[in-house]
Structure 1
Amino acid sequence: MKNTLCTLTGIVGSIITTLLGGWDTGIATLVLFMAIDFISGIAVAAIFHNSKKTETGTLESKAGWKGLCRKSMTLLFVLIAYRLDLSIGTTYIRDTVVIGFMANELISIVENAGLMGIPLPSVLTKAIDLLNQKSQPS
């Protein structure tokens, strides 16, 4: 049973990695940032009761599933960017998408740290506020 599970996990991991254009530093960093963001978001809700994703500020499974769906969609965008690269013979579209999503995850991690009460340099909070304002429709 153990060997079967390990084999299936390896096959699924290989397929996903191939679809995303390989397991390089960019993908590894993006997945790491996504995991840190998800875990820190859970901590904000479960321990600090300060989540902006729920009305009560506490942990709710619905908010967690939404977060996982968003992260899955992020990986689908990486897949699309990789396929575009293959279609037009370039190598930079996927990298650009990965870097953009890494920046987005990093901003979310910093926001979670702020919600935990970790003092943040004012330049970081101002930059996040500016990015959030620009992303909101006027």
Structure 2
Amino acid sequence: MEKLKELISELIGVTGTAIVRSLGGWSADLQTLITFMVIDFVMGLAVIFIFKKSNAIETEAGENNVCFRPLCKKSVMLLIVLIAYRLDLTLQINYIRTTVIIALIVNELISIIEYAGLMGVKFPKVITNAIDILKKKTEEDEEK
């Protein structure tokens, strides 16, 4: 049983190392992004299940996807980081990955603040106005 535990630990370690290396290394910006992704995921579940502020679980389709869809979204975000890192390597530069990570961190931060608002946390008007402006700009960019 102890050998199996060691084998599983080694497999998890090797897999984790391979993933982190493929994303460009365990840097502070990647740590921040993953931390924000976890916080966003947990807060999203809290809003749905504890605060009942979403109709995602009221439909049968929502019930099946309530955890799967956000995890798929987070996986694609990490895939975009991998692509950005590979572009950096190919072009022999060192800023595409960082720029992509910062953009994704901002995206996660906006989502975290929105969830906090749904939970009843009050924010200064400046912050809510800034979020509204960023959302409108994103919607305009998507329409183009």
TM-score, structure 2 as length reference: 0.88
Find out whether 1:7 has 2:10 as its counterpart: yes
Unaligned runs of 5+ in 2: none
* Aligned counterpart, 2:56: 54
* Aligned counterpart, 1:127: 130
2:44 to 38, 41, 65: 41
Amino acid at match of 2:130: A
Tell me the CA shift for residue 10 of structure 1: 0.5
Amino acid at match of 2:102: I
SS at match of 2:53: coil
* Aligned counterpart, 2:75: 72
Unaligned runs of 5+ in 1: none
Fraction of identical pairs, as percent: 47
What root-mean-square deviation, in Å, do the aligned CA atoms of Structure 1 and Structure 2 show?
1.7
Alignment: residue pair count? 136
Tell me the CA shift for residue 64 of structure 1: 2.0
Could you report, residue by residue, the CA deviation over 1:66-95 in whole angstroms, capped at 9, with x for unpaired residues?
A: 111110000000000000000010011100
Moved over 6 A (4+): none
Tell me the CA shift for residue 117 of structure 1: 0.6
Tell me the CA shift for residue 55 of structure 1: 7.0
Could you report, residue by residue, the CA deviation over 1:110-134 in whole angstroms, capped at 9, with x for unpaired residues?
A: 0000000111111111111111112
Closer, same or farther in 2 for the Cα pair 1:33/1:117, shift >3 Å? same
Tell me the CA shift for residue 56 of structure 1: 4.1
1:107 to 92, 107, 110: 110
How many Å separate the matches in 2 of 1:67 and 1:54? 12
Tell me the CA shift for residue 60 of structure 1: 3.3
